[in-house]
Chain A
Amino acid sequence: MSTEHVDEIMAMAPFSLMDESRFPSQTPLRDILLNDTRIVQYQPGEVIYKQGDYGNSAFFVIDGDVRSILPPGIDEETLGRRKGKSKSLVKTFTQFLDLSPFPESRRLADYEKARNPLFQQQEYAGTTHLLIQDFPAVVSQHNTATIQPGTFFGEIAALNRSPRPTTVMAHQHGARLLEIRWQGLRELLRSDTSLKEAIDQRYRTEALIPFLRTLNEFSDLSDDALKHIAEATDFVTYGDYDWSGQYKRFLSQAELDKVKEPTILKEGDYANGVAIVRAGFARISEAFGKRRKTLKYMGAGQIYGMDEIRHNANDPQSTTPYIHTMTAVGYAHILLIPSTIIEQYVLNKAVNKSKPEATSSLVHELEGSSLTMSPAQARKAKAAKSKPDKSISTEEATPVPSDLLEFFAELRFLNGTRTMIINLDHCTRCDDCVRACAATHGNNPRFVRHGPTHNRFMVANACMHCQDPVCMLGCPTGAIHRSEQGGQVVINDLTCIGCASCANNCPYDSIRMVEIRDKKGNAVRAPDGQPINKATKCDLCIEQPGGPSCQRACPHDALRRVNMSDLEQISDWL
Chain B
Amino acid sequence: MAKSTRIFLILALLGLAAFVFAHYRATTNLGAPARISGWTLLGSCVFLFLYNTRKKLPAPPLGTSRQWLNLHLIVGVLALVFFLFHINFRVPNGAFEVILGLVFLFIFLSGVLGIGISRGFARRLRTHGQEVVYEQIPVLRKGVAERADSLMLESTESNKSTVVMDYYTATLRPFFKKPMHYWAHLFDSRRPLAQLQHGIQDLRRYTDDSENEYLNQLEELVEIKNGLDYHYALQRTLKAWLFLHIPLSLALLILTALHLILVLSFNGGAS
Contacts from A to B (Cβ < 8 Å): 87, 89, 92-93, 95-96, 424-432, 435-436, 439-440, 449-450, 453, 456, 458, 541, 544-546, 549, 551-558
In the bound assembly, the distance between CA atoms of A96 and B60 in angstroms comes to 11
Q: When chains A and B are docked, how far (Å) is the Cα of A424 from the Cα of B238?
A: 14
How far does the alpha carbon of A449 sit from the alpha carbon of B58 in the complex, in Å?
Answer: 17
B126 within 8 A of A: yes
CB-defined contacts of B125 to chain A, threshold 8 Å: 424, 429
Q: Are B122 and A425 in contact (CB under 8 A)?
A: yes
Q: Does B261 contact A (CB under 8 A)?
A: no
Chain A residues in 8 Å Cβ range of B235: 429
The segment out of B38-46, B65-73, B97-105, B164-172 that lies at the interface is B65-73
> In the complex, what's the smallest C-beta–C-beta distance from A552 to chain B, in angstroms?
5
Bound Cα distance from A36 to B118, whole angstroms: 57
From B58, B118, B131, give the contact of A424 (CB < 8 A): B131
Asked if B58 contacts A435 (CB within 8 A), the reply is yes
Across the interface, A439 reaches (CB within 8 A) one of B58, B121, B238, namely: B58
State whether the Cβ of B269 lies closer than 8 Å to any Cβ in chain A: no
Cross-chain contact B122 with A424 (CB below 8 angstroms): yes
Please name all residues of chain A whose beta carbon is closer than 8 Å to the beta carbon of B30 when the two chains form the complex.
none
How long is the Cα–Cα vector from A428 to B126 in the complex, in angstroms? 10
Please state if B131 and A458 are interface contacts (CB–CB under 8 Å). yes
Are A428 and B122 also in contact (CB < 8 A) when A93-B60, A435-B58, A544-B59 are?
yes
A450: B residues at CB distance < 8 A:
131, 133
Q: In the complex, which of the residues A427, A449, A552, A555 has the most CB atoms of chain B within 10 Å of its own CB atom?
A: A555
| Inter-chain contact A556/B66, CB cutoff 8 Å | yes
Bound CA–CA A431/B239 (angstroms): 10
The answer on a CB contact under 8 Å between A425 and B118 is: no
Task: State the CA gap A159–B160 with chains docked (Å).
Answer: 66
Q: Tell whether A456 pairs with B126 under 8 Å between CB atoms, given A89-B60, A440-B59.
A: yes
Jot down 5 A-B pairs with beta carbons below 8 A, ordered by A.
Answer: A424-B131, A425-B126, A552-B65, A553-B58, A553-B65
Which one of B65, B68, B122 contacts A427 once the chains associate, using CB atoms below 8 Å?
B122
Task: Judge if B134 is at the interface, Cβ distance under 8 Å.
Answer: yes
Q: Is the CB of B60 within 8 A of A555?
A: no
B268 within 8 A of A: no
Given contacts A429-B134, A556-B69, contact A546 B126 (CB under 8 A): no
| A557-B66 in contact given A428-B122, A429-B125 (Cβ < 8 Å) | yes
CA separation between A111 and B118, bound complex, in Å?
45
Asked whether, in the complex, the Cβ of B122 is within 8 Å of the Cβ of A549, the reply is: no
Q: Mark B105-128, 1 if CB is under 8 A from A, else 0.
A: 000000000000010011101100
* CB closest chain-A residue, reference B59: A92
Chain B hits for A549, CB < 8 A: 58-59
Chain A to chain B: the 8 pairs with minimum beta-carbon distance, closest first: A436-B58, A546-B61, A92-B60, A555-B69, A424-B126, A549-B58, A92-B59, A555-B65
Closest-by-CB residue of B relative to A423 is: B122
Question: 8 Å CB contacts to A: which residues of B48-89?
Answer: 55-62, 64-66, 68-69
Contact of A555 among B56, B68, B123 (CB under 8 A): B68
Q: B188 to nearest A CB, angstroms? A: 16
Assembled-state Cα–Cα distance A567/B131 (Å): 26
Bound Cα distance from A471 to B55, whole angstroms: 33
Q: A428: which B residues are within 8 A, CB to CB? A: 118, 121-122, 238
**How large, as a class, is the contact surface on chain B?**
20 to 34
In the complex, the number of residue pairs spanning A and B with C-beta atoms less than 8 Å apart equals 85
Task: List B residues at the A interface (Cβ < 8 Å).
Answer: 55-62, 64-66, 68-69, 118, 121-123, 125-126, 131, 133-134, 235, 238-239
List residues of chain B with CB within 8 A of the CB of A424. 122, 125-126, 131
Q: Which residues of B contact A557 (CB under 8 A)?
A: 66
Chain B's closest residue to A452 (CB) is: B131
> In terms of DSSP, what is the predominant structure of the interface of chain A?
loop
**How far, in angstroms, from A142 to B196 measured CA to CA in the complex?**
78
A432 to B61, CA, bound (A): 16
Residues of chain A with a CB closer than 8 A to B62's CB: 546
Complex Cα spacing A219 to B217, Å: 63
Tell me the nearest residue of chain A to B124, going by C-beta: A425
Query: How close is A91's CB to chain B, nearest CB, in angstroms?
Result: 9
Using A424-B122, A424-B126 as known contacts, say yes or no to A553 and B55 having CB atoms under 8 A apart: yes
Report the Cα distance A424→B58, complex, angstroms.
Answer: 22
Residue from B58, B68, B133, B238 within 8 A of A440 (CB atoms): B58
B123: which A residues are within 8 A, CB to CB? 425
Assess whether A439 is in contact with B126, with CB atoms less than 8 Å apart.
no
Q: A92-B60, A436-B58 are in contact. List 17 more A-B contacts (CB 8 A).
A: A87-B59, A89-B60, A92-B59, A95-B59, A96-B59, A424-B122, A425-B122, A428-B121, A429-B125, A429-B133, A429-B134, A432-B55, A435-B55, A546-B61, A551-B64, A552-B58, A554-B66
Distance in Å: Cβ of A94 to nearest Cβ of chain B: 10
* Chain B contacts for A93, CB-based, 8 A: 57, 59-60
Q: How long is the Cα–Cα vector from A556 to B55 in the complex, in angstroms?
A: 13
Task: Chain B residues near A456: list those with CB within 8 A.
Answer: 126
| Minimum CB–CB distance for B65 against chain A, Å | 4
Using Cβ atoms and an 8 Å threshold, which residues of chain B touch A430?
238-239
Among B56, B61, B69, B122, the most chain A Cβ lie within 10 Å of the Cβ of: B122
- Taken together as a complex, chains A and B put the C-alpha atoms of A429 and B60 apart, in Å, by 23
Evaluate whether A92 and B61 lie within 8 angstroms (CB atoms) in the complex, with A450-B133, A554-B66, A555-B66 already known.
Answer: yes
Contact in complex: A556, B134 (CB < 8 Å)? no
- Assembled-state Cα–Cα distance A549/B125 (Å): 25
**CB neighbours of B238 from chain A (8 A):** 428-430
Interface centre among A428, A435, A546, by most chain B C-beta atoms within 10 angstroms, is A428
Q: In the docked arrangement, what's the CA distance between A458 and B133, Å?
A: 13
- Of A450, A545, A546, A552, chain B has the most CB atoms within 10 Å of the CB of A552
Q: Are the C-beta atoms of B65 and A439 separated by less than 8 Å? A: no
Find out whether the CB atom of B131 lies under 8 angstroms from the CB atom of A453. Answer: yes
- Inter-chain CA distance A93–B239, complex, in Å, is 26
How far apart are the CA atoms of A544 and B66 in the complex, in Å?
A: 18
With a cutoff of 8 Å between Cβ atoms, the chain B residues found around residue A435 in the complex are: 55, 58
Q: Are B134 and A552 in contact (CB under 8 A)?
A: no
The residues of A that contact B58 with a CB separation of less than 8 Å are 432, 435-436, 439-440, 549, 552-553
A452 to chain B, nearest CB (A): 10
In the complex the two chains form, is B122's CB within 8 Å of A556's CB? yes
* CB nearest neighbor in A for B131: A453
Report A-chain residues with C-beta under 8 Å of the C-beta of B69.
555-556
Give complex CA distance A96, B55 in Å. 13
- Docked Cα-Cα span, A385 to B60, in Å, equals 60
Least distance between B239 CB and chain A CB atoms (Å) = 7
B118 and A556 form a contact (CB under 8 A): yes
